[in-house]
Structure 1
Amino acid sequence: MSSLPLISSCFCCRRAEPRNRQLPPIRSVQAVLFDIDGTLADSDPLHYLAFREMLAEIGYNCGNPITKEFYSSSLSGKHNSVVGKFLFPDWDQQRRDQFLDDKEAHFRRLAAKQLEPVAGLHRLTDWIKQKGFHRAAVTNAPRASAEQMIAGVGLTEFFEHVVIGGECERAKPFPDPYLKALEHFGVSAQNAFAFEDSVAGLGAAVAAGLPVVGITTGNPGPALIAAGAAFLIKDYNDPALWRKLK
């Protein structure tokens, strides 16, 4: 995916704008921002499977497989540096990094065979292109995984920019990645909105002042509403979304 313009540093000193739970009028929208994992594709089941298998192999939790609830509440949407410290507080950083690198490689093997776009995704991306809005992917996924997922759902040419949280001073749940995307386009948060599926990601977008559509592919709706979602959709064919986009 060498054709993608990629952002390698983050603007993190700008003050976040006030929270706004309402999408801006469509006539004023200039940019639409997307998370990747769980938002472009329902990839959380594959991340869960990769974590479950690899953690069981090393005897984590006395060898008992982690639950989906544990994954959703403690791992989903979080940057790998945070995940590593949470799972392995007694390990040195090199050992944590190696485990998480291996987990990402396992995830990519699974995703190469099983990744599917969220229903209605291309209907929405076609609408965004027709409107002429800027579009960026903003993710905590490592670059290799992010690029594979974007290509896997057929959106290599769709995104104008990709912001990688790990290449920012602070990843999600801090607002820096979203602020960087807005800064790159020269767009105010009041003239943009985002799609997110995790509490950590939603919190980052809300902290950047963005209205956020929560998609319930892998996390419970009440948690997304509590994190600041403007409203919830099950996928991109959801009538609730298209009523808002009129």
Structure 2
Amino acid sequence: MLKALIFDMDGTLVHSDPAHLEAFAQTLGPQGIVIDEDLYRTSIIGHTNESIFATLLPHLPVEEHEVYAERKEAAFRRLALELKPLEGLLDLFDWAEARGIRLALVTNAPLLNATHILDILGITDRFEVKITIDQVERGKPDPLPYLTAVERLGIQPEEAIAFEDSPSGMRAAKAAGLFSFGVLTGLSAGELTKVGADRTIETFRDRALWEVLERRNAA
């Protein structure tokens, strides 16, 4: 029986990648690092800030990585002021809540960013459980964030469906034992299927999603 839907945030609830890319570009430009689409896809999307800045600024100590991460997140919050929920998201929330299916958030974003985005989207109160990078010892691709959400919900992994847009997030969800949809806001269906996506969707209105939801809800 389907008991919960668990969502990543950036690229899943909202197409926020352009704002993130620009924030990284503004922050790392003075270091001579050009952030383009290819670099964003290969070294940034789905990764933790710890991993990103260790990769892009290997010559700097960890303390400076943390300073750059804070600058980047502040830049992102300045840029991300007019974001909208991905098409069909609010209808999906309404459908789930009408059936007693609970909602949770699992993101590698820090709490300040998550709070900022959820407030802008007007969905802060829709999630019963919110797991941010600040709350767990290891972020995605480790399954710990998903396992933590499942534990707090008091359910089994097979009773939930996950939604992810990145390889690291998909690996985390699948390693935690969740049926998972890949959301195609940044990567191709082939790329997400390769790392474990059970199905892929472009928006939350896709028929592939609703066929699974109706079947799982009727089980």
- TM-score, structure 2 normalization: 0.94
Matched, 1:80 2:49: yes
Q: Given that residues 108 and 139 in structure 2 are in contact (C-alpha distance below 8 angstroms), is that contact kept between their aligned partners in structure 1?
A: yes
1:56 matched to 2:56: no
| SS of structure 1 residue aligned to 2:106 | strand
Specify every segment of 5 or more residues in structure 2 that has no aligned partner in the other structure, as ranges: 215-219
Which amino acid is 1:34 matched to? F
Residue 96 of structure 2 corresponds to: 128
1:144 Cα deviation from its structure 2 partner: 0.4
CA contact (8 A) 1:173 1:203 kept: yes
If asked which structure has higher relative contact order (CA below 8 Å, sep 6+), I would say: 1
Matched to 2:122, the amino acid is G
Q: In 2, Cα distance between the equivalents of 1:66 and 1:190?
A: 38
1:101 aligns with 2:74: no
**Deviation string for 1:47-95 (max 9, x for gaps)?**
11111222223212xxxx3220210111101111111111111111111
1:137-216 equivalences under 5 Å are 137-216=105-184
**d(CA) in 1 for partners of 2:43 and 2:189?**
16
Letter in 2 for 1:98: V
1:135 alignment partner, SS class: strand
Question: Which residue of 2 is the match for residue 40 of structure 1?
Answer: 13
Question: Is the Cα contact below 8 Å between 2:129 and 2:153 reproduced in 1?
Answer: no
CA RMSD in angstroms comes to 1.1
Matched, 1:66 2:35: yes
Q: Which amino acid aligns with 1:169?
A: E
The superposition leaves residues 194-239 of structure 1 with CA deviations (integer Å, 9 ceiling, x where unpaired) of: 0001111111010101110100011222111011101110011112
Moved over 4 A (4+): none
**Native 8 Å contact 2:118 2:124 kept in 1:** yes
Aligned length in residues: 214
Identity %: 40
- Please state whether the residue corresponding to 1:157 is helix, strand or coil: helix
Q: Which has the higher helix share?
A: 2
Unaligned runs of 5+ in 1: 1-27
Q: Which amino acid aligns with 2:116?
A: Q
1:79–1:166: 8 Å Cα contact kept in structure 2?
no
2:217 matched residue in structure 1: none
